[in-house]
Structure 1
Amino acid sequence: MNSSYHRGWQLPLIAFSILVLGTGGAIRPAEAVDDEVECSSIRLQLTGDGYDTICSADNGANVSYETLEANATDGTHFLVVNDARTNFRYIFESRSLRQTLTDIYSELSVSNWHNGKGEQGLTTAEFDADFKTVPSACVGFQKYTTRDQWGGWRRHVIGFGCSRDGDRAKVYDALKRIKFPQ
């Protein structure tokens, strides 16, 4: 996983998850620039050892993103977490986890979808996928926070993790290591 993967979800997330309030302005791709950053500089944090991480931050005029990609050093599983926060005049609409994941990660072929175990107040689901041609046992997750006074949400955390050896417990363990900002 690399920062170019991050660009793949950025525009669909804007297109499908944001309700524009009022009549002002359109979101343009040039408004958000992808920047790889030191992981210690973003709000999402992964505790413990055993992972290689890549982080990025985009501070656009309408939405700010932070992304944490964690790959197990033994190569058995990975986790991608995106934290999106809206700015003035924009809010996120609530959407189902499956709908949002398949819109944002269009290359993710999903089968055998069922409810997950839940973790850290997140809505979770388990599914099978052929991610980048590797059959994997995956867990998707999301959470909306910071309720807006006009309805909708100001913050949306979404992501997924996959185990290449079929052990979803490794993905849940990695998810427990994430410190989500308040």
Structure 2
Amino acid sequence: MRSIGIDRSRDAIAGCDPATIRRLQRRLLVVTVKYLPLAIALTLMGCFGTQLLERSIGLDRHIGFAAGWIIGGFGAAIGTLAICVAALWARSAVGAGHAAIRVDQAIRMTTRGRLLILLAAVSAETVTVLDAPSGIDRGLALWVNSIITVGLALFTLIADDVRRIVRRVDVMDQHQGR
């Protein structure tokens, strides 16, 4: 996704005519609509798909949990990015001139998504270890794992980054007298 150029000498963003902003918003909306269903599908696949694999091919239970939540971690990462993009796209209607900065920030969030894969694997093994000795129902353990993985992803990526981006944009708006 190519961002609009930034003219730092005048502390302004070049090419911010209304038509350009509308095109940018449409592209962001397409990203959100395209990837959010994929995130939901991957997360559900992580929860139910490995159960079917374990029953059909005799996959080891620990491997099944880890594989399922690595897949679920990808889903959470993609879904979090889509939600962040949607939030930034909606805010761009307030300060359309800074839409390019917000797009660049949203794209940088994808690098943090890699940490979700590690989080998913650790969470999977934790629930697996607690499952047997504590007598927790396995299906319930899967859903608890899902809430932990997706919930932490949403909190860490959305709460921190959106607050920081909004604060940065507000400061720039005040500086330019918008």
TM-score, normalised with respect to structure 2: 0.27
| Higher Cα radius of gyration | 2
Q: 1 or 2, which has the higher helix percentage?
A: 2
Q: 1 or 2, which has the higher strand percentage?
A: 1
Which structure is richer in relative contact order (CA contacts within 8 A, separation 6 or more)? 2
